Amino acid sequence: MKLASLKSGRDGQLVVVNRALTHCVPVPHIAPTMQAALDRWSATEPLLRKLAAALESGKQSDARPFDARECAAPLPRAYHWADGSAYVNHIELVRKAHDAEMPASFWTDPLIYQGGSDDLLGACDDVPFVSEEHGIDLEAEVGVITDAVPMGITPDEVPPHIVLLVLINDWTLRNLVPAELAKGFGFYQSKPATAFSPVAITPDELRDAWREGKVHLPLASFVNDQPLGQPNAGVDMTFDFHRIVAHAARTRRLGAGTIVGSGTVSNVDRSTGSSCLAERRTLEVLEFGTQRTPFLSFGDRVRIQMRDAAGASLFGEINQQVVSFHPPPRLAKDSHG
C-alpha cells in the first residue's frame, strides 16, 4: 500500500496512491490526515488496504490523477523525527579526512540525533536557504515511520511497529556542523527543514527487498541531473532499523508517527558513489589531495529516487531546487532600517 499527503492546510489530506503512482483517492471517511491514520493504525490500516486493492484493480471510480508536485511530506509535521547514522563506514571516512579519530564505540552503539519535525518539506518543494556560505548539502536516506512504540522494546519486537517506509533528504549546512558538533548538544542550525518522498509505502511493497530491518535496493541521487551515487541501502548498514528503533525507545516511549532515518546511505565499495557531497569531497581529498566538487548553490536541483528490480519508482522522486531565502517584507524592512 502507498500513501501520500496532498497539500491542504497544515497537515495535508491523506490519499491512497496506486502502485504505478498515477492515481490517488482521498480517504476522509477513514482518516483525514496521515497522523490521524497512524494514531489509529490498527483500525485504519485494514480499511486503507481494502481501498488500495480496489484502486489497484480499477474499481475506485473516484480515483484522480496523482501528481508528486501536489504532495506535502507524508507527515507535513511530525511529533518525532530521529535520524540514525547507520552507515558507520561513511562516518569513519569523513572523520579520516579531518584527521579525526572515530571512537570505536561508533561500531557498536548506534548514533542518533533528533531533528526538527515541525516543518517537513514535500518532495518537490523549493528549499530556501539563508546563505550559500553555510555549505548546502543533501543527505539521501531511507526512513521508517512507526506506530506507538513501548519504552524498553528489544530489536526483535520492533518489526510490527514499522508501518511505513519513506525516502528522506536530510538537508545539511556543512559549515555549521563543526561548531555544533564541538558543543556536543547536537545538530540544530545545521539541520534545516528535511524533505521526504512523495509517498510512504508499507514494508510489504518491497517484497523480499525488505528484510532484516534493511531496504536492499540502491538509492540513487542526482545533482543537476548528474549521478552522485547509487549505493545499496541494504549493504554496509551497521545498525538495521530494528536496532535503531530499539535504541531510540530505550528510555522513553515513541509516539505514533515517529520517523526514524537511516543516516546517509554509503557503501564501502566507493564505485557506487555517494549520497551526499561531503562524502564525495572527502573521497576527492583522499584521491586528489583537494576537494573538487563544491557544495550546492542557489538554482541547483537535487533528485533522489529508489527503483525496484524492474525499474519502477517505489516512492516517487524527491526533486527539489535550492533557492535563496527572502525574508518576509516586515523583516526585510527592519533589517535594512
Closer to a copy of itself by CB, 134 or 303: give it.
134
Closer to a copy of itself by CB, 152 or 294: give it.
152
Q: Using CB under 8 A, which of the segments 197-205, 229-237, 249-257, 292-300 binds a copy of itself?
A: 249-257
- What sign does the CA torsion over 292, 295, 300, 305 have? positive
DSSP string for 309-327: TTS-BSS--EEEEEEE---
Q: Is 261 in the site for a copy of itself (CB under 8 A)?
A: no
Contact between 52 and 16 (Cβ < 8 Å): yes
Q: Is 151 in the site for a copy of itself (CB under 8 A)?
A: yes
Query: In the stretch 92-131, what mask flags binding to a copy of itself with x, by CB under 8 A?
Result: -----------x-xx--x-xxxxxxxxx--------xxx-
Shortest Cβ 117–a copy of itself spacing (Å): 6
Tell which one of 93, 153, 200, 296 touches a copy of itself (CB under 8 A): 153
Q: Using CB under 8 A, which of the segments 197-205, 206-214, 248-256, 293-301 binds a copy of itself?
A: 248-256
Q: Is 188 in the site for a copy of itself (CB under 8 A)?
A: yes
Q: Is 315 in the site for a copy of itself (CB under 8 A)?
A: no
Pairing relationship of beta strands 318-324 and 127-129 according to DSSP bridges? parallel
Three-state SS for 44?
helix
Shortest Cβ 116–a copy of itself spacing (Å): 6
CA-to-CA distance for 133 and 68, rounded, in angstroms?
30
Tell which one of 54, 97, 193, 285 touches a copy of itself (CB under 8 A): 193
Tell which one of 176, 199, 200, 260 touches a copy of itself (CB under 8 A): 176
Q: Is 79 in the site for a copy of itself (CB under 8 A)?
A: yes
CA-to-CA distance for 150 and 67, rounded, in angstroms?
36
Report how far Cα 94 is from the mean position of its chain's Cα atoms. Answer: 21
Q: How many residues at the interface with a copy of itself, by CB under 8 A? A: 65
Closer to a copy of itself by CB, 102 or 235: give it.
102
Q: Is 333 in the site for a copy of itself (CB under 8 A)?
A: no
Contact between 195 and 123 (Cβ < 8 Å): yes
Burial of 22 per CB tally in 10 Å (0-12, 13-18, 19+): exposed
Tell which one of 192, 198, 203, 316 touches a copy of itself (CB under 8 A): 192
CA-to-CA distance for 262 and 244, rounded, in angstroms?
8
Tell which one of 71, 233, 254, 304 touches a copy of itself (CB under 8 A): 254
Tell which one of 59, 211, 252, 292 touches a copy of itself (CB under 8 A): 252
CA-to-CA distance for 293 and 27, rounded, in angstroms?
45
Q: Is 302 in the site for a copy of itself (CB under 8 A)?
A: no
135, three cell numbers: 555549505
Shortest Cβ 124–a copy of itself spacing (Å): 18
List Cα–Cα distances, 211 to 32, 44, 70, 121, 159, in angstroms. Answer: 31, 25, 31, 28, 10
Tell which one of 248, 283, 296, 302 touches a copy of itself (CB under 8 A): 248
CA-to-CA distance for 16 and 49, rounded, in angstroms?
9
Three-state SS for 163?
strand
What φ, ψ does residue 171 adopt, rounded to 5°?
-50, 135
CA-to-CA distance for 263 and 278, rounded, in angstroms?
13
Give residues in contact with a copy of itself (CB under 8 A).
Answer: 10, 39, 77-80, 82, 85, 103, 105-106, 109, 111-119, 128-130, 134, 150-154, 156-157, 173, 176, 179-190, 192-193, 247-248, 250-255, 257-258, 325, 327-328, 330-331, 334-335
